[in-house]
Amino acid sequence: MAYPENAPLEQWLARGTEEDVLEPELPIIDPHHHLWDCRDADREPHVRWEQKVYLCEEMSEDIRTSGHNVVQTVFAQCGAFYRADGPEEMRSVGETEFVHGVAAMSRSGKYGDMRLCTGIFSSADLNLGKSVEPVLEAHMAASPNFRGIRFPLPAELDTRFEEGYAILGKYDLSYDNYSPDYERLPRLARLARAHPDITIIVNHLGGKIDPDAGADAVARWKECIDAIAACPNAVMKCGGAQQRVGPWEPPFHMHQRPEGPMGSEELGELLLPYYQYVIEAFGVERCMFESNFPVDKESISYRTLWNLLKRIASRLGLSVSEKTSMFSGTAARVYRLPAVRSGQ
**φ, ψ (nearest 5 deg) of residue 4:** -60, -25
Which pLDDT belongs to residue 18? Answer: 95
Which pLDDT belongs to residue 340? Answer: 61
Which pLDDT belongs to residue 341? Answer: 54
User: Packing angle between helix 185-194 and helix 159-170, nearest 10 degrees?
Assistant: 60
- Average pLDDT, stretch 209-215? 96
Count of C-beta atoms within a 10 Å radius of residue 203: 21
Which pLDDT belongs to residue 342? Answer: 44
Count of C-beta atoms within a 10 Å radius of residue 163: 17
How large a percentage of the chain has pLDDT more than 90? 95
Q: What is the pLDDT of residues 317-330, one digit of tens each?
A: 999 999 999 999 99
Q: Indicate the SS3 state at residue 261.
A: coil
Burial class (CB in 10 A: 0-12, 13-18, 19+), 158: exposed
- Average pLDDT, stretch 212-222? 97
The answer to whether 28 and 71 are in contact (CB under 8 A) is yes
Residue-range domain boundaries for the chain: 23-334
Q: What is the pLDDT of residues 119-131, one digit of tens each?
A: 999 999 999 999 9
Q: What is the pLDDT of residues 81-117, one digit of tens each?
A: 999 999 999 999 999 999 999 999 999 999 999 999 9
Comparing CA positions, the residue from 193, 124, 108 lying closest to residue 157 is 193
Nearest-angstrom CA–CA distance, 64 and 137: 34
Q: What is the pLDDT of residues 9-50, one digit of tens each?
A: 999 999 999 999 999 999 999 999 999 999 998 888 888 899
Q: What is the pLDDT of residues 95-104, one digit of tens each?
A: 999 999 999 9
Q: Average pLDDT over the chain, rounded to whole?
A: 96
Q: Indicate the SS3 state at residue 264.
A: helix
Give the CA-trace dihedral at 206, 227, 151, 50, to 10 degrees.
-10
Which pLDDT belongs to residue 165? Answer: 98
Nearest-angstrom CA–CA distance, 256 and 250: 8
The mean-pLDDT minimum among 40-49, 142-151, 226-235 falls in 40-49
Which pLDDT belongs to residue 46? Answer: 85
Comparing CA positions, the residue from 319, 184, 213 lying closest to residue 271 is 213
pLDDT band (50, 70, 90) for residue 344: very low
The answer to whether 159 and 114 are in contact (CB under 8 A) is no
Q: What is the pLDDT of residues 291-303, one digit of tens each?
A: 999 999 999 999 9
Q: Domain 23-334 maps to which CATH number in 2.60.40.10, 3.40.50.1370, 3.30.9.10, 3.20.20.140? A: 3.20.20.140
Residue 343 in this model has a pLDDT that exceeds 60: no
pLDDT band (50, 70, 90) for residue 1: low
Nearest-angstrom CA–CA distance, 13 and 260: 6
Which pLDDT belongs to residue 78? Answer: 97
